[in-house]
Chains A and B, each alone.
Chain A
């Protein structure tokens, strides 16, 4: 007889604790998706807790594919993706999904050559190298672009990402735009059927392989290259200028990119004079019609805060912020979210 009593007491305590916990709990907004913007998103959630302590964010960086799937299945309040959703996927959604661009980043070409001279590349040579057609560093095409540099008679070892990633999406998006041969043979996706080279897992896998293999060239995120002090190439943009990848040259690319009203844009090969051509944005995905009115209201407040104040934190974390004009357009779109 003693035991049941004890059990009842425990049960009662647990229930009571549960009730008080829910009573005092903050509102939890769940999100999932892209890994690339994870550092800045967690910074935002952290800072936003000071602005509005009544709401907390839980973000799982499970990858863009996962983010799109979760928002389609409505298991999260917002998704995140490094590439815009395809028409095909959007038709599967139970409601209209809005794309909210947040920040952008660049993909740079890093290499390992004796003495690591400054390197200049253009669309033609990058496509040639990654198609496996330019095989040696002293190829006349490369020599013509780099008249000052002493390029060795060495085999080019191509290193690409082996895991599906937004970085690959941006890089192959660029190549598909500038090379019809690439578009036809390989195409554009988070992972593709590479015509040449070896695959490394993640930014660290690619950079590790490039660092250790003499004559290697690979592509990584700008943040990763700068933090690891790796050399990276200047790339000729569509205006004919050689541009060094920096946060500013990425913002310049967004400013001149053609951005449609649904914000599903690609900013590679942007026309601006100062625009770095291999860059891409990342998006938050939210339903236009929010199911839970209180939650939806909090989410909208956060998105507005992110556009106004959050954007200012981008530079410190090596992300390119959106230009003022785009921020205004995005804010207007956020206002259209209905509760």
Chain B
């Protein structure tokens, strides 16, 4: 009895001792994390606001025309951003078309098929690719990739697909396609690493169930792993796309920097981020600066829009697979 009572008392006193300070700690932690989370939101709003202020005169002057016209003439102060918007979207699309199959295949190989001894070295190598500064990749692009592309893959593409408008016309080297390829190289590591983590988190029960049903290795990977991880993989791709839209230095060095809209991927192009990197430092007149700020605002808007679209797409995928599961 006495022992039990003393335990009870001690228990209460422990509770009393721990109670109020621990509640304070919880509260403090909650407020702290809330403040951090809010800081991010505030930061985004501040950036948008600053861009808006910086470009308000240009927005008033050019209005909607800024988004749909193609002349970029700092001398006459005529500014239209359409070729840059086009270039940003197309180069990112090319990059995704190249990088997504490669990355997901690499991730699948690394988690499902590769012998154990090869996994870690491969993972390290891929992560090292992410650590290469983009200006180095750009120089590599100018001096190694472009001459090679111009001499071998581009003429081949022209021979085989020259009848389509996409691989038509003279080959200079610096081009929309070269820009897309360099972005692909840059977003490959992030998509691969994230995809690998996601595939690794697929429970082994899934694979075992598939094998139990007599699935081959390919079928098990396809049905039990890739399909299961679809949502996560999609997220990995979106992360890559986010990077692709904002890639600047390396793209600037290989894309040819010509504000034009051409069907042929051999023609030089231009991106929103590139024109900012190229022209911001030496812009002296007010309207010119305003227009460059508006380019920043457009890039900001496109990034948000693309992310929203991706979220929507993700939700429809989730709903679809949920209904299929119910059926």
Total residues of chain A contacting the partner, CB 8 A: 39
1/0 per position for A149-183, CB-CB distance to B under 8 A? 00000010100001111100000000000000000
A155 to B170, CA, bound (A): 10
Given A89-B285, A201-B253, list of 4 further CB < 8 A pairs? A63-B282, A66-B281, A189-B74, A212-B146
Whether a CB of chain A sits under 8 angstroms from the CB of B75 is yes
Stretch among A109-117, A190-198, A233-241 lining the B interface: A190-198
Q: Is the CB of B75 within 8 A of A162?
A: no
Whether a CB of chain A sits under 8 angstroms from the CB of B72 is yes
Residue among A64, A192, A200, A204 making CB contact with B74, cutoff 8 Å: A192
Q: Which residues of A contact B (CB under 8 A)?
A: 62-66, 68-69, 83, 85-86, 88-89, 155, 157, 162-166, 186-194, 197-201, 204-205, 208-209, 212-213
A157 to B256, CA, bound (A): 12
Q: Is the CB of B72 within 8 A of A193?
A: yes
A62 to B73, CA, bound (A): 23
Q: Is the CB of A86 within 8 A of B146?
A: no
Q: Is the CB of A163 within 8 A of B278?
A: yes
Which residues of chain A have C-beta atoms less than 8 A from B76's C-beta?
Answer: 187, 193
Total residues of chain B contacting the partner, CB 8 A: 34
Q: Is the CB of B282 within 8 A of A162?
A: no
Q: Is the CB of B283 within 8 A of A65?
A: yes
Residue among A64, A88, A155, A197 making CB contact with B282, cutoff 8 Å: A64
1/0 per position for B135-148, CB-CB distance to A under 8 A? 00011001100110
Which of chain B's residues 42-68 have a Cβ closer than 8 Å to chain A? none
In the assembled complex, 19 residue pairs joining A and B whose CB atoms fall closer than 8 Å, in A order, are: A64-B281, A68-B284, A89-B284, A163-B278, A164-B279, A166-B282, A190-B279, A191-B278, A191-B279, A193-B75, A198-B174, A198-B258, A199-B257, A201-B277, A209-B173, A209-B174, A212-B142, A212-B173, A213-B172
Find the B residue at minimum CB distance from A160: B257
Q: Is the CB of A198 within 8 A of B282?
A: no
What is the distance, in angstroms, from B134's C-beta to the closest C-beta of chain A?
12
A68 to B73, CA, bound (A): 21
Q: Is the CB of A200 within 8 A of B284?
A: no
Residue among B139, B274, B281 making CB contact with A63, cutoff 8 Å: B281
Find the A residue at minimum CB distance from B74: A189
Whether a CB of chain A sits under 8 angstroms from the CB of B71 is yes
Q: Which residues of B contact A (CB under 8 A)?
A: 71-76, 138-139, 142-143, 146-147, 150, 170, 172-174, 252-253, 256-258, 268, 270, 274, 277-285
Q: Is the CB of A163 within 8 A of B75?
A: no
With A192-B73, A198-B268, A208-B142 already in contact, the answer to whether A88 and B285 are too (CB < 8 A) is yes
Which residues of chain B have C-beta atoms less than 8 A from A88's C-beta?
Answer: 285
Q: Is the CB of A164 within 8 A of B282?
A: yes
Q: Is the CB of B284 within 8 A of A205?
A: no
Q: 9 closest A-B pairs (Cβ-Cβ)?
A: A164-B282, A63-B281, A199-B257, A162-B257, A187-B75, A193-B73, A190-B282, A163-B278, A198-B256
What is the distance, in angstroms, from B290's C-beta to the closest C-beta of chain A?
13
What is the distance, in angstroms, from A133's C-beta to the closest C-beta of chain B?
17
Find the B residue at minimum CB distance from A187: B75
Residue among B147, B173, B278 making CB contact with A164, cutoff 8 Å: B278
Residue among B73, B139, B284 making CB contact with A65, cutoff 8 Å: B284
A186 to B78, CA, bound (A): 12
Which residues of chain A have C-beta atoms less than 8 A from B73's C-beta?
Answer: 192-193
A191 to B139, CA, bound (A): 22
Which residues of chain B have C-beta atoms less than 8 A from A69's C-beta?
Answer: 284
Which residues of chain A have C-beta atoms less than 8 A from B74's C-beta?
Answer: 164, 189-193
Q: Is the CB of B281 within 8 A of A198?
A: no
Residue among A186, A198, A204 making CB contact with B257, cutoff 8 Å: A198
Q: Is the CB of B281 within 8 A of A199?
A: no
A192 to B71, CA, bound (A): 11
Which residues of chain A have C-beta atoms less than 8 A from B72's C-beta?
Answer: 193
A163 to B147, CA, bound (A): 22
Find the B residue at minimum CB distance from A176: B75
With A163-B278, A186-B75, A205-B142 already in contact, the answer to whether A157 and B172 are too (CB < 8 A) is yes
Q: Is the CB of A64 within 8 A of B284?
A: yes
Find the B residue at minimum CB distance from A82: B282
What is the distance, in angstroms, from A210's C-beta to the closest C-beta of chain B?
11
Which residues of chain B have C-beta atoms less than 8 A from A162's C-beta?
Answer: 252, 257, 274, 278
A64 to B281, CA, bound (A): 7
Which residues of chain B have C-beta atoms less than 8 A from A191's C-beta?
Answer: 74, 278-279, 282
Q: Is the CB of A212 within 8 A of B268?
A: no
What is the distance, in angstroms, from B135's C-beta to the closest C-beta of chain A?
10
A192 to B73, CA, bound (A): 6
Find the A residue at minimum CB distance from B251: A201
What is the distance, in angstroms, from B228's C-beta to the closest C-beta of chain A?
44
Q: Is the CB of A189 within 8 A of B75?
A: yes
A196 to B167, CA, bound (A): 20
A245 to B278, CA, bound (A): 27
Which residues of chain A have C-beta atoms less than 8 A from B172's C-beta?
Answer: 157, 198, 213
Q: Is the CB of B268 within 8 A of A199?
A: yes
Which residues of chain A have C-beta atoms less than 8 A from B71's C-beta?
Answer: 193
Q: Which of A63, A66, A190, A201 has the most CB of B within 10 A?
A: A201
A194 to B73, CA, bound (A): 9
Q: Is the CB of B282 within 8 A of A199?
A: no
What is the distance, in angstroms, from B158's C-beta to the closest C-beta of chain A?
16
Find the B residue at minimum CB distance from A83: B284
Find the A residue at minimum CB distance from B135: A201
